[in-house]
Structures are given as C-alpha cells and as structure tokens.
Amino acid sequence: MIATLVLMPLLSIAAGGSLINWVEANFTPLPELPRPIYIRNDGSIDPPLAPLRRIGEVYTFTGNINNTIEVQR
C-alpha cells in the first residue's frame, strides 16, 4: 500500500502525464437569506414592520417583498 502511494506519483512524473489532478475550491460564503414573514396562529404579522397589512381576515401587501411567507395554523 505504501509502495503504491510512493510509486504512483513518481511513475506519473516519469511518464510525463499526471495521474493526480489538483483542484481548487472557492469558499465564497452563501448570501444571507432574508428573514421570513410569519402570519401567526392569532393572525398577527411577524416582524411587525413587514410590508403586509391586515384588516380583518384580509392581508394586503404594502410593498415589494423578497422574503418567504409562512402561515402558521
């Protein structure tokens, strides 16, 4: 096993080819996702400043959103 690990790179270099491929990784962090908008069991909206208005049982958007909306029952 150890002989194989030592001989493979040497044979690869001697043959002029490459049996080992080196790779690079990009560790760019994922963008932060917007906080979801919740319509709670009691009908309240969280966060309270979300662009969503409630009048009775009707909810109306008051602006554009990029968030997900989760309705809890």
> pLDDT for 12-64, tens place per residue?
665 555 556 777 777 888 888 889 999 999 999 999 999 999 999 999 999 99
5 within 8 A of 11, measured Cβ to Cβ? no
51 within 8 A of 63, measured Cβ to Cβ? yes
Q: Is residue 56 part of a domain?
A: yes
| Residue of 51, 18, 2 whose CA lies nearest to 10 | 18
pLDDT value at position 9? 67
What is the greatest pairwise CA distance in the chain?
79
Question: Which residue range forms the structural domain that includes residue 72?
Answer: 34-73
**Number of domains within the chain:** 1
| Residue of 22, 20, 21, 59 whose CA lies nearest to 37 | 59
Q: Is residue 48 part of a domain?
A: yes
Q: Which of 9-13, 59-63, 68-72 has the lowest mean pLDDT?
A: 9-13
pLDDT value at position 31? 87
Does this model's pTM top 0.75? My answer is no
